[in-house]
Chains A and B, each alone.
Chain A
């Protein structure tokens, strides 16, 4: 059940998308997200779908994986859909008791739902094709200009690296403790909400204790290796722009421009 969560998961591969400089990928995703908010009519979504489709096929990601990643957020998408559908004023299409569906509401709700789906898919493409280490490296480098105004770029990146690094460990640990308590007859799957919450105690207490123990051990291990923050620290793999990175960036700028122009061309 825990294994169904694919958000933020890395899908190893050797495609050109996987090999791109993480900084480029982060900037591309940021631009992609921004471009989503410039879309005001339906047909630019064709471009967006083409964009996402191209990346998925070039990176050889299984479509099943992407769809699975959307599942946990289906609830939020549905709520957004419902709110927009019922609460937008305009030309009435249908009345269901106290609820009315308007033409504008229908348009707006489909529009918002699609925007959310593309938003999630776009960002998960980043994490699916970028290893956590590369991702935080990229973030650190992108943030490093802000060090001058006191932003602890390295420390932030290090915290992210550690957090990402321990997600699988914690999931594994959760799975193990759950099984150990199930072996003692614990039941995590039935009962009402209150009972279920109560039944989580045998899972959460050991999980927290172990997490604190692990944090303590990690801190000691880092200190034992003389870790003292980012100053003067060199790295094994320096990030370097290659020609493919420039090509991708340039194409993205064109794509971004195209999306923005649709806003003025169509309306």
Chain B
């Protein structure tokens, strides 16, 4: 188990009229190698939750254990935790600041106190992983790039720290469909090649269905549902009551089944649906 949260509570601005409870008795466990989807309505506490995972926010009460070390313990070094759990914020391109892409990506590894050769190696590697060409881009200013490419630079800046867990808060927000697909593909490749644990916060049920293998649903500051992707998406009504939904293709299959066709309705992707429908049509023809 790489991440464990026990009875975590967090309240913003306690004792003022702006007081707001953002996390309410949150318990969750994440294993090494998991690909987690974190979904929830705006304001449900997702962003607050992910900021707890690398100690940027300290819980009001409760305990967080990262890789066997409690974050509330004095001996745990925050720098180590932040190296282990890489966090990519929403619109991460807004945090770029260096003159060149190389320097910006090197910022994290340098803060870890690595040697120049090691930093160089990591920047190369990270740029490769997010699909940026090292030679042509390393000396260019990150501010000249397109939105999608800026975002990759920002993600590479976190990937270059070689985290064990990579948390991405809505990495595709504001991108065009192609940019979105490319970023998601790179995240999937990262997961497959680098063998890291990924936590993906997203509003797109399609993306979640395609990528992750476990889901946590946040609702009104609590973890309302948890389970495998299929399990969670089989509770369509409950999800809809929380202002969320299920992937469109799953919805379609549910409707199709309701019309009296004998198909499985827990499919998650278009490919699965295609197989299922073909199977159904064949069985009809044979009968």
CB-nearest residue of chain B relative to A178?
Answer: B56
A185 B79 Cβ-Cβ under 8 A: yes
Q: Which one, B13, B92, B96, contacts A3 given CB within 8 A?
A: B13
Known: A12-B17, A176-B89. A183 touches B97 (CB 8 A): no
Known: A11-B17, A12-B17. A180 touches B107 (CB 8 A): no
List the A side residues contacting B56 at CB < 8 Å: 179, 182-183
A177 B82 Cβ-Cβ under 8 A: no
Chain B 96-137 interface 0/1 with A at a Cβ cutoff of 8 Å (1 = within): 110000000001100110000000000000000000000000
Chain A 1-19 interface 0/1 with B at a Cβ cutoff of 8 Å (1 = within): 0010000000111000000
Known: A179-B51, A184-B161, A185-B108. A210 touches B17 (CB 8 A): no
Chain B positions 61-105 with a Cβ under 8 Å from a chain A Cβ: 79, 82-83, 86-87, 89, 92, 94-97
The minimal Cβ–Cβ distance linking B104 to chain A, given in whole angstroms, is 9
B82 A183 Cβ-Cβ under 8 A: yes
B111 A185 Cβ-Cβ under 8 A: yes
A206 B96 Cβ-Cβ under 8 A: yes
A180 B17 Cβ-Cβ under 8 A: no
The minimal Cβ–Cβ distance linking A210 to chain B, given in whole angstroms, is 6
In angstroms, Cα B92 to Cα A210, docked, is 12
In angstroms, Cα B92 to Cα A180, docked, is 8
Chain A 164-204 interface 0/1 with B at a Cβ cutoff of 8 Å (1 = within): 00000000000011011111111100000000000001100
Q: Which one, B13, B17, B82, B92, contacts A185 given CB within 8 A?
A: B82
Known: A12-B17, A187-B111. A181 touches B82 (CB 8 A): no
Could you tell me how many residues of chain A have their Cβ less than 8 Å away from some Cβ of chain B? Answer: 24
A184 B97 Cβ-Cβ under 8 A: no
The minimal Cβ–Cβ distance linking B60 to chain A, given in whole angstroms, is 14
Known: A3-B13, A180-B89, A202-B107. A185 touches B95 (CB 8 A): no
List the B side residues contacting A13 at CB < 8 Å: 17
Could you tell me how many residues of chain B have their Cβ less than 8 Å away from some Cβ of chain A? Answer: 26
List the A side residues contacting B54 at CB < 8 Å: 183
CB-nearest residue of chain A relative to B167?
Answer: A183
CB-nearest residue of chain B relative to A180?
Answer: B95
B95 A206 Cβ-Cβ under 8 A: yes
List the A side residues contacting B95 at CB < 8 Å: 177, 180-181, 202, 206
B38 at the interface (CB under 8 A from A): no
The minimal Cβ–Cβ distance linking B113 to chain A, given in whole angstroms, is 9
A205 at the interface (CB under 8 A from B): yes
Known: A183-B158, A184-B158. A206 touches B94 (CB 8 A): yes
List the B side residues contacting A65 at CB < 8 Å: 16
List the A side residues contacting B87 at CB < 8 Å: 180, 183
B97 A202 Cβ-Cβ under 8 A: yes
In angstroms, Cα B14 to Cα A185, docked, is 28
In angstroms, Cα B77 to Cα A187, docked, is 13
The minimal Cβ–Cβ distance linking A17 to chain B, given in whole angstroms, is 15
List the B side residues contacting A206 at CB < 8 Å: 94-97
In angstroms, Cα B79 to Cα A187, docked, is 9
In angstroms, Cα B99 to Cα A14, docked, is 50
B157 at the interface (CB under 8 A from A): yes
Known: A177-B95, A202-B97, A210-B94. A184 touches B107 (CB 8 A): yes
List the B side residues contacting A183 at CB < 8 Å: 54, 56, 82, 86-87, 89, 158
Residue of A179, A182, A185, A186 with most chain B CB atoms under a 10 A cut-off? A185
In angstroms, Cα B111 to Cα A186, docked, is 6
In angstroms, Cα B235 to Cα A263, docked, is 77
In angstroms, Cα B161 to Cα A28, docked, is 57
Binding site for B on A (CB under 8 A): 3, 11-13, 62, 64-65, 176-177, 179-187, 201-202, 205-206, 209-210
Q: Could you write out 10 A-B pairs with CB less than 8 Å apart?
A: A179-B89, A181-B107, A182-B56, A183-B54, A183-B87, A184-B108, A184-B161, A186-B107, A202-B95, A206-B96
Binding site for A on B (CB under 8 A): 13, 15-17, 51, 54, 56, 79, 82-83, 86-87, 89, 92, 94-97, 107-108, 111-112, 143, 157-158, 161
Q: Kindly list the 5 A-B residue pairs having the minimum CB-CB distance in the complex, ordered from nearest.
A: A185-B111, A205-B97, A184-B108, A180-B95, A183-B87
